[in-house]
A and B are shown apart, each in its own frame.
Chain A
């Protein structure tokens, strides 16, 4: 039994420029140009066209109902024998495109990204919209099955959050910095993988490994170019945090400058789910969880058993005491940034497969959740970050059983606030004067 994945393509609306300009976006068209013979409506009336290609397993699907709504305009059309559809729209606005799942053949459902997608135009007058189809039944699923499914999804999400959260927690512990730019370190990994695999054509595994290494270098570079000089200068913690906010803003738009405002897919995303009893997982999900667990175990081993790892925990716990004991604090901080960067990059890659999609602000979307996870678990403790991340991941996914899915982040944020009320030092944090 499977059901539509709980993950909605959470694409936030772009900020309407305050001077009244629309922020238009470049899109990468992942499908080829539309063929001449699609089932279409209003394309001769209007200049702008939304189009798409409905396929399952490489086979086009006919007679699927696609509807478009937005800016006071509504239209619908069915796909033709090639699975193609085109709808003309009057304005260059954002429209909501929906696929009516009841018109899909039996056994096929919209697998990832949801049956409703927000489509925004790029430079051109044609915007393509694609739905991910997978095998599945649309029959009603028992609550228990849903619960188990979302629980597993929540674990998956929590594990990838943990990768980012541990880095952030260690950075906070060793340098005191609340690093808002961690979002961009996450995005960097996904963007690097995208360039390496799609643009440069490297095999995906090679691309991933190189991307992780590059992320580590990126982390190191940020520390060397920005954070270390500021630490030496003696800049206070609050100004440092504000610097990280400015850096995050600048980097995010640099990413948008080079990669555009749209969403692209990494190779291999959108694989169909395999079923294990009530649980539906795609091979990607399984790989993601497996890799997360392995890497987390490696990090745990590093922190608990190796000398450098123990030094890291010491510095994270009490930098001045560690320094007085002869530990090379600068060296430890360097390592924390490299490892934190690499972990964030890996987290970004897994997040790209989970969403699914790579975009310029994908890291920023989960930044708050990562903050929530590290604060929940106890700022400065790596294991706290892991615990907090799992809790946040589970909350986000399980809350969709009761809350509408576009409110699912609210659950995690409320938990954050509640935990801070009752136990400000977090679950594993040490109790010090917090106020």
Chain B
């Protein structure tokens, strides 16, 4: 018989997992880029990689304390956004998409190459940078929680920090999107020339949006690697596509969308793969192996992206009247 209890509890823990938080924050960054400003940034994986490597390298190679490592990551993010933005923000949307993918791939290739192996660990990546963060933990050692939500002090610390960051980012974004700045951004999303004719420096606004969403992605990258190791193969284009799937599911131009979307996404994905894996074990699906069960998840995500964009492009929380990219 299938262990439903295990399937459900494994899925439930995804609700507060730091990975879910990281993806939520990355999706929020993309909400700023794509949902609110209409920038087709397909290089969010690159921003996340910069956060991960920026933090890890600062800690490991230079021995920086936590706050300095974080700043280095953010600094790298801003520089990357500038390098990306200066040539491309004057180009059409799909040009921006291709250039951002190319730039993210360049970043990944640079981190993977053996040339920089002493610093980046090339294909094997980096680990052993969690110490500084763990040292900041005020929670005394021990296990806390109940049921499936039982974690040690470090894991709880990580979750608290991660979700606090997400909430702060949400509040910040909510506030600026209600402000005149947000109004200009939404105008740009629909028609740049109209906004230009009203005396707004469109280019500067797009750059600010790119930097802001990029910084979110970078911090997300740092949160992402705190429970695991920094491995360059994690930052391929498929990562960006997953973040887009979450964004579209939740609602591209909303604040709640990226967060709830990330939760739903990971819970569903965990449930689905848990179910399929156990069904295969129990012999319910004799034509499939458990490896193929793993591959089914990705097929599901791909099909889900297609269906959402065609039939409910505003996602769960979005407002169809305000959708700019459906034209």
Contact = CB atoms under 8 A, between A and B. Distances in A.
Indicate whether A and B are direct neighbours in the complex (CB within 8 Å): yes
Interface of A: 12-21, 23-26, 118, 123, 178, 230, 233, 235-239, 241-243, 245-254, 256-257, 368, 371-372, 375, 404, 406-407, 409-410, 413-414, 416-417, 420-421, 424, 434-435
> How many residues of B sit at the interface, in one of the four size bands?
35 or more
Interface in B268-307: 270, 273, 289, 291-292, 294-296, 298-299, 301-306
Contacts of B93: 238
A253 B295 contact: yes
B150 interface: no
Given A13-B123, A16-B231, A256-B295, A235 B113 contact: no
A416 B102 contact: yes
A372 B91 contact: no
A253 B304 CA distance: 14
A251 B299 CA distance: 7
Interface in B107-150: 109-110, 112-115, 123
With a 10 A CB-CB cut-off, give which of B19, B94, B109, B296 has the most chain A CB atoms.
B94
Contacts of A238: 40, 93-94, 325-326
Given A13-B233, A416-B99, A424-B95, A407 B299 contact: no
A188 to B, nearest CB: 16
- List of 7 A-B pairs having minimum Cβ-Cβ separation, nearest first: A250-B302, A246-B305, A249-B302, A13-B233, A246-B306, A253-B298, A435-B90
A242 B234 contact: no
A243 B241 contact: no
B313 interface: yes
Contact of B87 (A247, A371, A409, A421): A421
Contacts, number: 161
B198 interface: no
Contacts of B87: 417, 420-421
B88 interface: yes
A249 B305 contact: yes
A410 B98 contact: no
Contact of A239 (B232, B303, B310): B310
Contacts of B294: 17, 21, 23
With a 10 A CB-CB cut-off, give which of A247, A257, A414, A424 has the most chain B CB atoms.
A257
Contacts of B105: 368, 409, 413
A15 B234 contact: yes
A424 B98 CA distance: 12
A410 B105 CA distance: 8
B97 interface: yes
With a 10 A CB-CB cut-off, give which of A236, A242, A409 has the most chain B CB atoms.
A242
B91 A435 contact: yes
Contacts of B103: 413, 417
Given A24-B291, A246-B305, A420-B87, 15 more contacts: A13-B231, A14-B233, A123-B289, A237-B94, A239-B310, A239-B326, A241-B94, A243-B309, A245-B244, A246-B245, A368-B237, A406-B112, A416-B98, A434-B90, A434-B92
Contact of A257 (B114, B292, B306): B292
A19 B233 CA distance: 15
With a 10 A CB-CB cut-off, give which of A18, A251, A424 has the most chain B CB atoms.
A18
Nearest to B38: A238
A156 to B, nearest CB: 22
B178 interface: no
A116 B306 CA distance: 39
B101 interface: yes
A122 B32 CA distance: 41
17 contacts: A16-B234, A19-B270, A230-B310, A235-B326, A238-B40, A239-B313, A239-B325, A242-B244, A246-B305, A249-B241, A250-B301, A253-B296, A368-B237, A406-B113, A407-B115, A413-B105, A416-B102
Contacts of A416: 98-99, 102
B116 to A, nearest CB: 10
B299 A257 contact: yes
A407 B327 CA distance: 39
Contacts of A413: 102-103, 105-106
B114 A406 contact: yes
Contacts of B69: none
A24 B291 CA distance: 7
B114 A434 contact: no
Contacts of A257: 292, 295-296, 299
Contacts of A233: 310
Given A239-B310, A257-B292, A410 B109 contact: yes
Given A416-B99, A420-B88, A254 B306 contact: no
A245 to B, nearest CB: 6
Contact of B302 (A230, A253, A406): A253
Contacts of B114: 404, 406
Contact of B106 (A18, A246, A410): A410
A257 B288 CA distance: 9
B115 A235 contact: no
B37 interface: no
Nearest to B227: A20
B109 A406 contact: yes
A241 B302 CA distance: 13
B236 interface: yes
B238 interface: yes
A17 B290 CA distance: 14
B9 to A, nearest CB: 13
B48 interface: no
Contact of A368 (B101, B113, B326): B101
A241 B109 CA distance: 25
B228 to A, nearest CB: 8
B232 A25 contact: no
Interface in B18-34: 19
A368 B46 CA distance: 15
Contacts of A239: 309-310, 313, 325-326
Contact of B109 (A178, A253, A407, A435): A407
Given A16-B231, A236-B327, A375-B98, A250 B306 contact: yes
With a 10 A CB-CB cut-off, give which of B102, B114, B241, B326 has the most chain A CB atoms.
B102
A150 to B, nearest CB: 19
